[in-house]
């Protein structure tokens, strides 16, 4: 057996030896991407929203650093959307290191088995594409390799499906709607694996916070005291006729907003309710006041019926209603987020997150059968 010279040993120690076959696989990897849940167009004030995720396979031995994403109309070749660097940095997610365990994948985890990119963009109502394809450019400087361009991820825009039309979960003026219709909000980017399937349960969710219509503020007095918020204790309503399939009550109220307890998959929603609206669509409410839930599993409810009171339990930084509709699975974090439109609401202003205050318009804008835009202030009938 011929021994390596000292110089060759030093070289081997500083640079792992790779066979020509391994080097070739790294330079030209077989990367594929899919759309796990096809986008369903949903109208809002600014246009028609297209939201979905891209999931990648074949990137196990390389860094996940997308430099450019192009969403393309497959019929025309037109680039419909290309996020800027700031958006891309907040919507591209590598696989977890280490990978999630078998127990985590079964019982619930935010760790990803495969890398993903979240997509949300808006088109004009007369320009909704039928088919999408993609071109992704990866920076591989970290791996000592040239740029990698991957094309594919072909998918159908689900024009055969429609958003669920619902009533309002709250009533009256001064409601700011947050964490919606944007590619970077946490509802859109939060991806959960349960029962070995990765979904985005909160993709079309909204957070409802009540403002004082005179001052535009969400609280009076101390902003760290939950009971000082105008929304605390407000009635919550069934958004449609249905059957109660899940209730959780008994989670302690977080009285001081800065003292939120540690959160798990099981405790994230706090006190909440799920209504089976039919056709495998489920309306989910979260963060209710401890002891305020007025329904039980098996009850039938009608649209407009009071089901509980708004509070500050679970993964909540201030009193608000977390609301979403999911499909296929009534598990709050185990279903796939499904688009909704509200039967009627009126836009009366916008919320400035920097100053934490609402700014009301001189003219109101009535809306029908639409999803609210992020940070608008609305009145519900």
- Confidence at 265, pLDDT banded by 50, 70, 90: confident
What is the three-state SS of the chain? CCCCCHHHHHHHHHCCCCCHHHHHHHHCCCCEEECCCCCCCEEECCEEEEEEEEEEECCCCCCCCEEEEEEEECCCCCEEECCCHHHHHHHEECCCCCCCCHHHHHHCECCCCCCEEEEEEEECHHHCCCEEEEEEEECCHHHCCCCEEEEEEEEECCCCCCCEEECCCCCEEEEEEECCCCCCCHHHHCCEEECCEEECCCCCCEEEEECCCCCCCCECCCCCEHHHECCCCCEEECCCCEEEEEEECCCCCCCEHHHCCCCCCCCCCCEEEEEEEECCEEEEEEEECCCCCCCCCCCEECCCCEEEEEECCCCCCCCEEEEEEEECCCCCCCCEECCEEECCEEEEEEEECCCCEEEEEEEEEEECCEECCCCEEEEEC
pLDDT of residue 375: 98
C-alpha angle 327-74-67 in degrees, rounded to nearest 5: 85
57-71, 119-133, 267-281, 365-379: segment of lowest average pLDDT: 57-71
pLDDT of residue 18: 45
Options 1.10.10, 2.60.40, 1.10.760, 2.60.120; CATH of 30-156? 2.60.40
pLDDT of residue 60: 82
Chain CA centroid to CA 364, Å: 28
Options 2.70.70.10, 3.40.50.150, 1.20.140.10, 3.30.70.100; CATH of 164-380? 2.70.70.10
- In this model, does residue 27 exceed pLDDT 90? no
Length of the chain equals 381
Pairing of strands 164-166, 172-178: unpaired
Closest CA to 38 of 164, 163, 155, 192: 155
pLDDT of residue 61: 78
Each residue's pLDDT tens digit, 130-178: 999 999 999 999 989 999 999 999 999 999 999 999 999 999 999 999 9
CA distance 181 to 188: 8
Closest CA to 208 of 351, 35, 68: 351
Any bridge partners for residue 186, and if so which? Answer: none
Within 10 A of 106 (CB to CB), how many other CB atoms are there?
13
- In this model, does residue 4 exceed pLDDT 80? no
pLDDT of residue 180: 97
Domain extent listing, the chain = 30-156, 164-380
CA distance 18 to 367: 61
Percent of the chain's residues with pLDDT above 70 = 93
Each residue's pLDDT tens digit, 299-351: 999 999 999 999 999 999 999 999 999 999 998 899 999 999 999 999 999 99
CA dihedral 193, 199, 202, 203 (to 10 degrees): 150
- In this model, does residue 263 exceed pLDDT 70? yes
pLDDT of residue 174: 98
Per-residue CA distances from 143 to 13, 14, 28, 65 (Å): 17, 15, 13, 10
13-22, 84-93, 148-157: segment of lowest average pLDDT: 13-22
Average pLDDT, the chain: 92
Return the structure tokens found at 365.
């804008």
User: Are 30-156 and 164-380 equal in CATH topology?
Assistant: no
Instruction: Please tell me which residue, 2 or 292, carries the higher pLDDT value.
Output: 292
pLDDT of residue 22: 45
pLDDT of residue 29: 84
17-27 mean pLDDT? 52
pLDDT of residue 26: 64
17-26, 165-174, 208-217: segment of lowest average pLDDT: 17-26
Any bridge partners for residue 137, and if so which? Answer: 68, 149
Return the structure tokens found at 337.
């987020």
43-61 mean pLDDT? 95
Return the structure tokens found at 282.
């489920």
- Confidence at 118, pLDDT banded by 50, 70, 90: very high
């Amino acid at each position: 057996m011929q021994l390596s010279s000292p110089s060759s040993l030093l070289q081997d120690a500083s640079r792992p030896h790779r066979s020509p076959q391994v080097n070739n696989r790294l330079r030209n990897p077989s990367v594929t991407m899919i759309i796990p849940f096809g986008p369903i167009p949903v109208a809002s004030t600014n246009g028609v929203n297209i939201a979905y995720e891209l999931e990648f396979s074949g990137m196990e031995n390389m860094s996940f650093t997308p430099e450019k994403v192009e969403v393309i109309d497959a019929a025309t070749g037109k680039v419909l959307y290309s996020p800027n660097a700031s958006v891309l940095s907040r919507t591209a997610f590598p696989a977890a290191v280490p990978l999630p365990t078998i127990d985590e994948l079964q019982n619930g985890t935010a760790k990803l088995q495969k890398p993903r990119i979240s997509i949300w963009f808006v088109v004009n109502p007369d320009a909704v594409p039928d088919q999408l394809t993609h071109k992704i450019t990866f920076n591989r400087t970290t791996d000592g390799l040239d740029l990698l361009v991957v094309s594919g991820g072909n998918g159908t825009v689900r024009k055969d499906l429609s958003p669920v039309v619902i009533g309002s979960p709250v009533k009256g003026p001064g409601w700011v709607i947050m964490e919606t219709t944007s590619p970077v909000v946490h509802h859109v980017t939060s991806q959960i694996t349960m029962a070995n399937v990765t979904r985005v349960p909160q993709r079309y969710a909204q957070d409802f916070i009540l403002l004082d219509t005179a001052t535009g503020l969400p609280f009076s007095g101390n902003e760290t005291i939950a009971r000082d918020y105008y929304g605390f204790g407000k009635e919550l309503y069934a958004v449609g006729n249905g059957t109660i399939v899940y209730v959780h009550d008994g989670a302690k109220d977080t009285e001081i907003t800065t003292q939120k307890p540690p959160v798990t998959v099981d405790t994230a929603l706090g006190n909440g309710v799920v209504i089976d609206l039919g056709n495998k669509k489920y309306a989910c409410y979260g963060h209710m006041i401890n002891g305020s839930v007025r329904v039980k599993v098996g009850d039938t409810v009608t649209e407009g019926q009071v089901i509980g009171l708004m509070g500050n339990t679970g993964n909540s930084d201030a009193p608000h209603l977390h609301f979403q509709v999911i499909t296929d699975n009534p598990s709050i974090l185990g279903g796939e987020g499904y688009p909704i439109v509200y039967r009627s609401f009126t836009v009366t202003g916008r919320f400035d997150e920097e100053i934490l205050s609402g700014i009301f318009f001189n003219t109101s804008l009535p809306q029908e059968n639409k999803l609210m835009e992020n940070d608008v202030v609305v009145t519900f009938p």
